[in-house]
Structure 1
Amino acid sequence: MASNQQRREAAKRKLQRQNQRRVQQAKAAHQRLMIVGVIAAVLVIAGGVWLISSLFSPGNDTAAKSGGATKAANAYGTGTDAPTATGQSGSASDTAAPTSTAPATECSYPKGGTAAKPVKPPTDLNPPKTGTVDATLTLNTGDVTIALDRANAPCAVGSFLSLAQQHYFDNTTCHRLTTAASLKVLQCGDPTGTGTGGPGYSFADELTGKEKYTTGVVAMANSGADTNGSQFFIVYGDSQLSPNYTVLGKVSSGLNVVQAIAAKGVKGGGQDGAPADPVTIEKVAVGS
């Protein structure tokens, strides 16, 4: 028969074993929580990576499904679901100039990249926001006059005028012509002639969301939202593009000059590339 002393020692050992089990159980529970936390963190990070990849993957650009116009549309930016342009007359006079509310804030031309040709950003950050001003492009094949729309895109017009006055466009090539049924444009404004050059600054889009790229419209080329620079394109036939390209103005005379360039086709054949006959902007004269 166990003595009181023995019973006390046995009870003490039992209590110690219970305490040890509780400590071990607590440690195990803590480890499980840490593992769960790590797994959750990994899932969150993985989810974030998936989200970023999904948002910015080129495969998500539905323009990739737009057929022959895909390459041309993507070169102007990342717009998708291009609207169908209205009006099939082919006359610049039938093209209605889009209207929009002028920006409430000052224009901004932040520096970025290397200028393809020495040039300074515009100094007038509050350009006129009404009316139009003419810019005449003297090409090696004839003159094209554009009515620049200050009411629709004052910042874009201000930039174009500044570049023209600094002779930025002089003796530069129109490096790109597209002749697909859904995209008929002549692209100019890059002194390097490669499609990658710019003025060393950019400026924001000026859009209404209702832009139509019908015959005679002149718009800014871009590589994404708010990446406008010096490149622009002249629409010589109704084209299907999403409303992601700031409308600079419209051709008031000389559209036949651009259409004659297009009639000769793309160098080497195809529907997208350099014009068959080189096109050079010899100079640009602007009104007041």
Structure 2
Amino acid sequence: MASSRDRARKLAREKLDRQLARRAGKQRRRRQIQAGLGAALALVLIVGGVAWLGGAFDSDEPVDTTATDQCAWTPQNTGSNPELKDVGQPPKSGLPTTGTRPMTITTDKGEPIVVGLDLANATCSAASLSYLASKQFYDNTTCHEITAEGAIRCGDPSGTGQGGPSYTVYDENMPVAPAPAPSASPGTAAKPAAPLYPKGTVALIGNPPGANGSQFLIFYKDFTPKAEPQYPIVGTVTGGMATVTKLSKIPTVANSAGDKVTPKDKITVQSITVGEPSAEPAAVPSAAPSASPQS
């Protein structure tokens, strides 16, 4: 039978073993916590380093490179239409937006025709015509139609109505038909509405409508369409209207579609040039734009 001293020694040893076990458990937990904290800190440092390299902590505000674009040019497939001519695209920004620019159309039929391009209401359309003129796009082309609507149609190097540059521009400054006037009182004649395209108006013509390229119309008489307008106004004739009238009197013959619109006497555009912007306002009253830029 064990003595009381042996039992005391045994109890003391068991107590010490329990203390050592608890101490070892605490140390294991401490090491686990420290390891977890170290891994978390390493992850934070890695993520922070990647973000720093990516510029997440830069103090400058991010720059929106599209914010200054004024115009959008829609590319066209020259492979599907051989009549298109690739001369690049005009700038999208830095374009004048006030006053007018003189566009001079020199033909073989009299004094040059001068057009005041409306920079305020047809910024992109005017920029497109200016760009194409700078590329000699119009040199030695023809005005291939005298339309039944009362306009000279020019600007197609192919002379077919299918030609143009390798991009298009959306409609700007589309005229809007006025609301119907109230009924006149008995015995009073109703006042005629102003034409949507007054004589001397210059407008783009798209193929299809809304996809405008290089072609334009010079109206030699007032015109108001019965349906919705399709020609966005880009300017007005400020000089050489006598030449426009002279061109309008050229007899016409049927084209390949059977429409009697082709001038019997060929109208050659020798050159088109565009001068510097002027503070002069547009002569033709502007119309509300009908579309916004497309990407």
Question: In structure 1, which of residues 260, 272, 284 is the aligned counterpart of residue 246 of structure 2?
Answer: 260
- Which of 220, 224, 233 matches 1:247? 233
Could you say what secondary structure the match of 1:137 adopts?
Answer: strand
Q: CA deviation at 1:200?
A: 0.9
Instruction: Tell me what 1:83 maps to.
Output: none
Give the AA of the match of 2:98.
T
**Which of residues 52, 63, 70 in structure 2 aligns to 1:106?**
70
SS at match of 2:132: helix
1:122 Cα deviation from its structure 2 partner: 0.2
Q: 1:234 aligns with which of 218, 227, 238?
A: 218
| 2:62 match | none
Q: 1:186 aligns with which of 142, 147, 152?
A: 152
SS in 1 for 2:85: coil
- Please give the alpha-carbon distance, in whole angstroms, between the structure 1 residues aligned to 2:84 and 2:232: 22
Aligned residues between the structures: 182
Equivalent position of 1:196 in the other structure? 162
How far is the alpha carbon of 1:105 from its aligned partner?
Answer: 6.0
* Contact map agreement 1:204 1:226 (CA 8 A) in 2: yes
- Cα distance in 2 between the residues matched to 1:112 and 1:118: 9
Give percent identity, aligned residues only: 36
> Contact conserved, 2:69 with 2:92, CA < 8 A, in 1?
no
Gaps of 5+ in 1: 1-103
The answer (yes or no) to whether the contact 2:72–2:92 under 8 Å persists in 1 is no
Label 1:251 to 1:227 Cα distance change in 2 as closer, same or farther (>3 A). same
Cα displacement (A) at 1:231: 0.5
1:169 matched to 2:169? The reply is: no
Aligned to 2:273: 285
Q: Does 1:213 align with 2:197?
A: yes
1:232-257 deviations in whole A, cap 9, x for unaligned? 01000111223331101000011111
In terms of fraction of residues, the more helix-rich structure is 1
Q: Residues 73-119 of structure 1: CA distance to partner in whole angstroms, max 9, x if unpaired?
A: xxxxxxxxxxxxxxxxxxxxxxxxxxxxxxx9620112113263341
Deviation at 1:166, TM superposition (A): 0.4
Distance in 1 (alpha carbons) for counterparts of 2:126 and 2:164? 16
Q: Which amino acid aligns with 2:133?
A: A
Mapped to 2, the partners of 1:272 and 1:221 lie a distance apart of: 19
SS state at 1:231 partner: strand
Output the CA distance in 2 between the equivalents of 1:126 and 1:149.
Answer: 16
Any unmatched runs of 5+ in structure 2? 1-67, 178-195, 277-295
CA–CA distance in structure 2, aligned partners of residues 271 and 215 of structure 1: 23
Shift of the alpha carbon at 1:226? 2.9
Q: CA deviation at 1:126?
A: 4.1
Question: What CA RMSD, in Å, does the superposition of the two structures yield over aligned residues?
Answer: 2.2
Matched residue type, 1:286: V
What's the CA shift for 1:262?
1.4
Q: Cα offset for 1:209? A: 4.2
TM-score, normalising length: structure 2: 0.58
The residue type paired with residue 152 of structure 2 is L
The whole-number CA distance in structure 2 between the counterparts of 1:277 and 1:194 is 16
Aligned CA distance change for structure 1 residues 176 and 225 (closer, same or farther; 3 Å): closer
CA displacement at 1:208 relative to structure 2: 4.8
What is the TM-score when the length of structure 1 is the normalising length? Answer: 0.59
Structure 2 residue aligned with 1:135: 103
Q: Relative to 1, partners in 2 of residues 1:259 and 1:209: Cα closer, same or farther, differing over 3 Å?
A: closer
Quote how far apart the aligned CAs of 1:225 are.
Answer: 4.7
Amino acid at match of 2:158: T
Match of 1:125 in 2: 93
Partners of 2:205 and 2:120 in 1: how far apart?
A: 19
Tell me which structure has the larger Cα radius of gyration.
Answer: 2
In 1, Cα distance between equivalents of 2:146 and 2:93? 33
Aligned to 1:86: none
